[in-house]
Amino acid sequence: MPRRRTGGSAEALDRRDALKLLAGGAAAAGLGVASQGCAASGSTTKKKVVVLGLDGLDPQIVQALIDAGRAPNFKKLGQLGSFMKLGTTMPALSPVAWSSFITGLTPGGHGIGDFIVRDPQTYTPVFSIYETESPRWVINIGDYQFPLAGGGATNLRRGKPFWAYLLERGIPAVVVKIPTNFPVDETVTRGVSGMGTPDLTDAYGVFNYYTSDEFEHYPNLSGGNVFYIQVNNHRAQAELIGPVNSLRRAKEDSRDRFANNAKIPFTVYRDPDSDSVRIDIQSQTLVLAKNEYSDWVHVSFELMPLLGNVSGIVRFLVKEVHPQLKIYVTPINIDPEDQAMPVTYPVEYGAELARVIGPFWTKGLPADTKAFDYRVIDDEQYVKQAELVLEERMALFDYEWSRFESGLFYFYVSSTDQDAHMLWRNMDETHPMHEASDVRFAGYLYHLYERMDELVGKVLPALDEDTLLLICSDHGFAQFGRQFHLNTWLRDRGYLTLKTGAEKKDETSIFDVDWASTLAYGVGFNGLYLNLQGREGQGQIRPEDAGKLAGRLKRELEAITDGETGKRPVANVYSKAELYSGEMTPLMPELLVGYTPGYRCSSASVLGSTGEAIIDINPWAWSGDHSMARDLVPGTLFSSLPLKAGDPNIVDLPVTILDFFGIEKPPQMVGRSLFKT
């Protein structure tokens, strides 16, 4: 995943490396040693607000399960208070919507407009949630360099979190796993970072896969590394690839693309008579059967002999033992007990959680969707991983819920989003890739929603006149069966021009675009930018001409018909002027393409690429989605108290929560209290 201003994949470790080496190994996590928390020791209120953020919880699926008698706790909660569709942001994407929930601002205010945005000067796609920056000052000693100042990760979300107003009044706030909260926000009593948290290599999530089958290939693989191993006398040796060693001077080695990475050797012994293996890694021994995930394995990467190490945790999966040996290893998660980058606040809270529930996924989106998309793991192996994620998250809930007394308790579940993305085609017989799925898991999403109903059942007994329970999702879900290549359409219509010679390529990248002749381009899941003078590096469109061009693009996109289905792929093209306010609005795309359920922007077009077809079948396991017209994929809202206002929107929720605590709406927030008409 592209990131801003990085000179390698582990610069976020630099300051921690320096602190460990120069300050005697303090337990600092990238931003210095954490304090003991900023909440008052005694709460000033008996009131409680419990928010269960169930990402992607779809109101139609919930209603169907209620009607079938399979969600009794959701039904009870709706009868007690309110059950409504919840309006969302445009785009209807998790980092965008949850940022609006956190701040009460539109994307024009908090600045998170998509998962992927672009650097307006270079047009390069970049990750929107956080950026890592190289240190400003280093000192070189031999083969090593020591960072002295600067460097580390910065949260790009703007705006004051609503819970900061609680802390200022002595009201505690526990915020667990909320998205766009990395590095973890220090305005909480206790917090765990969520979506947007990288793995140990400072990437969105990179798995490692080892196979002895030399004919096994994964062309254009994204999100993982494949290594070919040799098995001699049922023994194989391999290396686990870790972060770039930011303490050692970079070296060029065309034969080894991981020459600058820290590595850990490990050995696999294959049982000649059964489908089981033994794995030895750093004085630890694992014995695993085929299709079995290991427990978490602690690993330590040496950055400098005797002095500098960074810690992570991984799980191993044995895919095959005979005739070929195949081992999958999850992305290396930041170790919550010894944090290379800040994932809990205070930092010692991570070790506390690990002592109680064991090591846990710290990567923002824990389930490995890339490995599933590229068939490195199959449906069954993905579901096994998803169950591990869910059980771990429920154990975390049980621990925090058992000691919650007053104030705010926000708890986030990613499974309802990730598993809907990956298993939609299994349950949807109309999906063009349904027959390629494992129908044994056709009912898994319904099972997952029943588990969420059980979660609601744990909270219901605590409800009283001083307690408000809100269950909310940032969007709903729909089929993603066909993909729309926005940049290919722009190219074919003459809005995007390729450099001479690039038009002969089957696929092009953002670097093949002739910006001096380009009028518009797409980056991100829904963003359509005009190549504006004074904003883009090679802008061509005068600001006074932008409105006319945007209107023409909107009319043409909304008029497209898919010749295969007869449907309109684009339901609505929104103008940012009708949706956004705030200082970041000028940098946002002029148009936001709202797709019809069944369609979504292609992954290639998200990064600015073009291809041959404008519309084709989505071949991936990623088969459900929500980056569509926001009005067609609303979220879900349950409240234990009746809500007076109609048409609730996610920007209303922070105002509503503050109102319950008797705090007036902050002037910059754009929502309203749902307790008022």
Look up the CATH number of the domain holding residue 52.
3.40.720.10
Rounded Cα–Cα distance for residues 320 and 289 (Å): 9
**What is the average per-residue pLDDT within 566-582?**
97
Query: In which band, very low, low, confident or very high, does the pLDDT at 22 lie, cut at 50, 70 and 90?
Result: very low
Same domain, 58 and 186: yes
On whether residue 512 sits in a domain, the answer given is yes
HEC profile of 571-590 = EEEEEHHHCCCCCCHHHCCC
471 & 598 share domain: no
Give the DSSP letter of residue 321. -
Say if 316 falls within a structural domain.
Answer: no
What's the rounded Cα separation, in Å, for the pair 70 and 151? 51
Average pLDDT over residues 26-38: 32
Residues 443 and 508 in one domain: no
Average pLDDT over residues 121-149: 76
Whether pLDDT at 517 is above 60: yes
Query: Are residues 468 and 531 located together in one domain of the fold?
Result: no
Residue 370 above 70 pLDDT?
yes
pLDDT tens for residues 425-472? 999 999 999 999 999 999 999 999 999 999 999 999 999 999 999 999
Q: Of the ranges 13-27, 225-239, 594-608, which one carries the lowest mean pLDDT score?
A: 13-27
- How confident is the model over 399-410, as a mean pLDDT? 97
Asked whether 447 and 70 are in contact (CB, 8 A), the reply is: no
Q: Does the residue 535 lie in any domain?
A: yes
Tally of domains within the chain: 2
CA-CA distance, 6 to 119, in Å (whole number)?
A: 13
Q: Are 471 and 487 part of one and the same domain?
A: no
Terminal-residue alpha carbon distance, the chain: 44
Counting residues of the chain whose pLDDT is more than 70, the rounded percentage is: 90
Residues spanned by the domain of 180: 48-107+157-197+364-477+633-677
Is 537 part of a structural domain of the chain? yes
What are the structure tokens assigned to 345, written together?
A: 């606040």
Average pLDDT of span 408-422: 98
Q: Which two tokens stand for residue 73?
A: 């706790």
- In terms of DSSP bridges, do strands 316-320 and 326-329 run parallel, antiparallel, or are they unpaired? antiparallel
191 forms beta bridges with 175, 345
Claim to verify: residue 500 and residue 576 sit in the same structural domain: yes
CATH of the domain at 581: 3.30.1360
pLDDT of residue 7: 30
The answer to whether residues 53 and 188 belong to one domain is yes
pLDDT given at position 45: 83
Let me know whether 389 and 472 are in one domain.
Answer: yes
Residues 57 and 178 reside in one and the same domain: yes
Residue 249 has pLDDT above 70, yes or no: no
Q: Is residue 58 in some structural domain?
A: yes
Looking at the fold, whether 376 and 508 belong to one and the same domain comes out as no
Decide if 409 is inside a domain.
yes
User: Picking from 182-186, 306-310, 520-524, 544-548, which range would have the lowest pLDDT averaged per residue?
Assistant: 306-310
pLDDT at 40 > cutoff 60: no
Q: Examine residue 323 and say whether the peptide bond preceding it is cis (omega within 30 degrees of 0).
A: yes
Residue 543 in domain: yes
- Does 275 score more than 60 pLDDT? yes
Q: Distance between CA atoms of 185 and 131, rounded to whole angstroms?
A: 15
Mean pLDDT of 647-672: 98
Mean pLDDT calculated for residue range 566-591: 97
Q: What is the mean pLDDT of the chain?
A: 91
Q: Would you place residue 23 in the very low, low, confident or very high pLDDT band (cuts 50, 70, 90)? A: very low
* H runs (alpha helix) in 23-86: 59-67, 72-80
Q: Give me the pLDDT at residue 137, please.
A: 64
> 653 with 574, same domain?
no
Q: Do 461 and 508 belong together in one domain?
A: no
Return the C-alpha torsion angle 136, 334, 369, 385, nearest 10.
180
For the ranges 5-9, 87-91, 380-384, 446-450, which has the lowest average pLDDT? 5-9
Given the structure tokens 């399960």, which residue do they identify?
A: 65
pLDDT tens profile 282-318: 999 999 999 999 999 999 999 876 567 899 999 999 9
Q: Is residue 283 part of a domain?
A: no
What are the angstrom distances between the C-alpha of 577 and each of 89, 529, 591?
14, 13, 9
Is the pLDDT assigned to residue 105 strictly greater than 50?
A: yes
Stretch 306-331: mean pLDDT, rounded?
Answer: 93
* Overall pTM surpassing 0.95 (yes/no): no
In three-state secondary structure terms, 209 is strand
What pLDDT score does 145 carry? Answer: 62
